[in-house]
Chain A
Amino acid sequence: NAGVTQTPKFRILKIGQSMTLQCTQDMNHNYMYWYRQDPGMGLKLIYYSVGAGITDKGEVPNGYNVSRSTTEDFPLRLELAAPSQTSVYFCASTFSDRGGTEAFFGQGTRLTVV
Chain B
Amino acid sequence: GENVEQHPSTLSVQEGDSAVIKCTYSDSASNYFPWYKQELGKRPQLIIDIRSNVGEKKDQRIAVTLNKTAKHFSLHITETQPEDSAVYFCAARSGGSYIPTFGRGTSLIVHP
User: Which A residues contact B (CB, under 8 angstroms)?
Assistant: 31, 33, 35, 40-43, 45, 48, 50, 58, 90, 94, 96, 98-103, 105-108
Compute how far the CA of A96 lies from the CA of B95 in the bound complex, rounded to whole angstroms.
Answer: 10
- Chain B interface size range: 20 to 34
SS class of chain B's interface: helix, strand, loop or mixed?
Answer: strand
Contact for A100 among B51, B104, B105, CB less than 8 A? B51
Compute how far the CA of A35 lies from the CA of B99 in the bound complex, rounded to whole angstroms.
Answer: 12
Contacts A43-B44, A43-B89 given; indicate if A103 touches B100 (C-beta within 8 A): yes
Contact (Cβ within 8 A) B98 A94: yes
Chain A residues within an 8 Å CB radius of B42: 107-108
The distance from the CB of A26 to the nearest CB of chain B, in whole angstroms, is 16
Interface core residue of B91, B93, B100, B103 (most chain A CB under 10 Å)? B100
Is B20 interfacial (CB-CB < 8 Å)? no
